[in-house]
Amino acid sequence: MRRCFGAFAKKVATGLFLRHDHGSQYMSDDFQAEIRFLGIESTPAFVRAPEGNGCAERFIRTLKENLLWVQNFENVEKLRQALLEFRDLYNETRLIERHGFISPNAVRARALSTAALAA
């Protein structure tokens, strides 16, 4: 929240939709209350529709193919650092078709500027 929306505050992420499966952690009262507090709208995937989780599955595949299966890590700290670097590289350079072939950072910047104009 702080990195993408500049704060951790009530309704800071209004307009953001969170797609998730029906796992107990996502459906728990605590999790649902937290995302409501942040202004995030919960959008559970349809039951027995695995394609609804496709974006997350595709990201995990990309992470494995581009980092986890091609690099060994001396320790957990090296892995943690590599994951942070991968996150930054992915968000800065990965072009996402469903967003018109722009990076996740560009999508977030566009959403923030749109929200600022609406406020």
- 82 to each of 4, 9, 26, 60, how far by Cα in Å? 20, 29, 27, 15
Residues 6 or more apart whose Cβ sits within 8 Å of residue 13: 1, 4, 5, 38, 39, 40
In angstroms, the CA 27 to CA 32 distance is 6
The pLDDT value recorded for residue 1 is 87
Using the predicted structure, report yes or no on whether residue 40 has a pLDDT greater than 70: yes
Using the predicted structure, report yes or no on whether residue 64 has a pLDDT greater than 80: yes
Kindly indicate the confidence band of residue 5, based on its pLDDT and cuts at 50, 70 and 90: confident
Residue that is written with structure tokens 């986890």 in the block: 68
Share of the chain above pLDDT 90, in %: 50
Residues 6 or more apart whose Cβ sits within 8 Å of residue 103: 91, 92, 93, 94, 95, 96
